[in-house]
Amino acid sequence: MNLRLKIAAAFLPLAAWPAAAQQQPPSPAPSALETLGAMRPTGSTAEWPEIPQTGAKADKVKENLKKVKLPAGFHISLYALVPDARHISVGPQGVATFVGTRKSKVWVVTDRSRGGVGDEVKEFAPTLPKKIPNGPCFSKDGFLYIAEQNRVLEYPAAEFFYESPDVVASVVVAEGELIPKSEESYNHTARVCRVGPDNKLYIQLGQPYNVPTKEKNELYRKLGIGGIIRMDRDGKNREVYAIGLRNPVGMDFNPKDRSLWTNDNQVDGMGDDQPPGELNRIASAGLDFGFPWYGGGKVRTNEYKTDTPPANVVFPQVEQAAHAADLGLIFYTGTMFPQKYRGAIFSAQHGSWNRTVPVGARLMVTFLKDDGQVAGKSEPFAEGWNENGYYLGRPVDVAQLADGSLLVSDDLVGALYRIWYDGK
């Protein structure tokens, strides 16, 4: 379906179709996606409530943020309460911010007062059912993509249409076609997408096991599961872009050299302190990052210990704390922060889920050299959510607002935080 043409036409006859639509017999009932894709209203009269932004919870979250330590001159504040907040995409017009979840909703956050606070939080496209819509990403020309568990939809002009509960959507990857139905799992199923500098849509696919069997591994490598796939923005010309990853949840392109950087979450059950997590640089198509032969860094998995790994495995640029769960990352392109942060990578560490003593739950920064390689280990930038093993919050993703300040999502608290710099 060529929705781009339809959109252009649709702004004109908006008033013409409801009467005709109402006279249609009710059966067979089209799905909400079919109705919306045809630019028709669903007729839903369901309530469309806002998430309350004040009260005891907001006060407690603000109180807890006082424990978060940042470099001098930086500040953190509550931007919005957003239930189950996962990956973030800031609209290119700077009007609305879209936040995915691992449940069934996507939230849209609007700074109505234009005061650096997301004071209106509503469900995005509530009339369209979604399954694990974790990963929203925008194209520069304002098309919003949302990668779900096993589907990808395109929402044209999302920053315009989101003001109505009925939002136009079209299919990029139909339900059941992102991965085979038989391989669906709740494990490692939070997808992240990016529109690349080549205008293609990149999607991260975690593989569902701790360590897959050889049979599964063979299938997965062909499909790009445990890797990154890319396709045209209409879903055509799908190909495997990178392979040998385990559960990548967070990626961004370095605007300087167009390399794609990804975090990857590594094998569980090998002890509290190994294997390390990974920050990887993908310089070109077709690279192999070594999983499941390597379980993280150069640590071999028990299951593949006696097998010969593929030739030319690419090892990580940075080995992170074991089990710390490095998720969303961005290259900082703003000018609000001091010079040394420009071009650096900000990356959210969710915090371990099964380590005896939890590690992580912080925002990391990684500096690069002029040649595009890392200058050293990632350093903590914002920390304090891990209070002796008790989580006050778990950062998931980081995004940049138009003014150069950062947004950080937290799916434990259900919040977005804003980090800004004034040097004071």
Partner 1 sequence: MSVVKLIAPAGLLLAGGSPSHAGDVKAGGAKAMMCQACHGLDGLSKTPDAPNIAGQIEPYLVMQMQAFKSGLRKNDAMSVVMPPLSDKDIEDLAAYFSAIEIKIVRVPGE
Instruction: Give how far Cα 336 sits from Cα of 69, 281, 400, 401, Å.
Output: 19, 26, 11, 10
Spatial distance between the Cα atoms of 24 and 29, rounded to a whole number of angstroms: 10
The two three-digit tokens of residue 34, written as one number: 């079919």
48 binds partner 1 (CB under 8 A): no
**CA pair distance 9, 5, nearest whole angstrom:** 6
Minimum distance, C-beta of residue 237 to partner 1, in the bound complex (Å): 32
Shortest Cβ distance from residue 84 to partner 1 (Å)?
A: 9
Interface of this chain with partner 1, residues 389 to 408, rule: CB under 8 A: 389-391, 394
Stretch that binds partner 1, among 47-55, 135-143, 151-159, 383-391 (CB under 8 A): 383-391
Instruction: Single out the segment in contact with partner 1 by CB under 8 A; choices: 152-160, 181-189, 275-283, 293-301.
Output: 181-189
Minimum CB distance to partner 1 smaller for 82 or for 345 = 82
Phi and psi based region of residue 414 (left: phi greater than 0; alpha: psi -120 to 50; beta: remaining):
left
Can residue 186 be called a binding residue for partner 1 (CB under 8 A)? yes
Q: Which of positions 322-361 make contact with partner 1 (CB under 8 A)?
A: 351-358
Helix (H) or strand (E) holding 75: strand 74-81
Which is nearer to partner 1, 302 or 373 (by Cβ)? 302
Nearer to partner 1, 238 or 355 (CB): 355
Q: Binding of partner 1 at residue 102 (CB under 8 A)?
A: yes
Shortest reach from residue 112's CB to partner 1, in Å:
30
- Looking at the DSSP bridge assignments, the partners of residue 145 are 137, 154
Edge-to-edge strands of the sheet including 287-288? Answer: 193-195, 201-205, 227-231, 239-243, 287-288
* Residue 186 or 315 having the CB closest to partner 1: 186
Site for partner 1 in 228-287 (CB under 8 A): 268-269
Minimum Å distance from CB 164 to partner 1? 27
C-beta of residue 405 within 8 angstroms of C-beta of residue 116: yes
* Residues 6 or more apart whose Cβ sits within 8 Å of residue 120: 50, 109, 110, 112
Nearer to partner 1, 63 or 232 (CB): 63
Q: How far is the CB of 395 from partner 1 (least distance, A)?
A: 13
Strand residue runs (E) in 221-369: 227-231, 239-243, 251-253, 260-264, 277-282, 287-288, 294-296, 299-300, 318-320, 326-331, 345-349, 362-366
Q: Which of 300, 274, 302 is nearest to 359 (CA)?
A: 274
Helix/strand/coil for 361: coil
Smallest distance from the beta carbon of 302 to partner 1, in angstroms?
12
Least Å distance, CB 266 to partner 1, is 12
Q: Which region among 139-147, 153-161, 185-193, 366-374 touches partner 1 (by CB under 8 A)?
A: 185-193
Verify binding: residue 292, partner 1, rule CB under 8 A: no
Does 185 sit near partner 1 (CB under 8 A)?
yes
Question: Is 11 or 390 the residue whose CB approaches partner 1 more closely?
Answer: 390
Minimum CB separation of residue 387 from partner 1 in Å reads 11
- The SS3 of residue 3 is helix
Q: Measure the CA–CA gap between 276 and 298, rounded to whole angstroms.
A: 9
CB of 254 to partner 1, least distance (A): 31
From the centroid of its chain, how far is CA 252? Answer: 10
Segment 188 to 227, residues that bind partner 1, using CB under 8 A: 208-210
Beta-strand relationship, 277-282 and 239-243: unpaired
- Write the DSSP symbol of residue 374: B
**Cα 295 from Cα 211, distance rounded (Å):** 8
# residues contacting partner 1 (CB under 8 A):
25
Yes or no: say if 171 and 177 are a contact pair by the CB < 8 Å rule.
Answer: no
Beta bridge partners of 238: none
Smallest gap from residue 418 Cβ to partner 1 (A): 23
Residue 187 engages partner 1 in binding (rule: CB under 8 A): yes
Nearer to partner 1, 278 or 411 (CB): 411
Q: 165 or 275: whose CB is closer to partner 1?
A: 275
Q: Does 103 interact with partner 1 (rule: CB under 8 A)?
A: yes
* Complex with partner 1: residue 126 or 208, whichever CB lies closer: 208
> Nearer Cβ to partner 1, position 4 or 103?
103
Instruction: Name the residues that contact partner 1, by CB under 8 A.
Output: 102-103, 132, 185-187, 208-210, 268-269, 351-358, 389-391, 394, 411-412
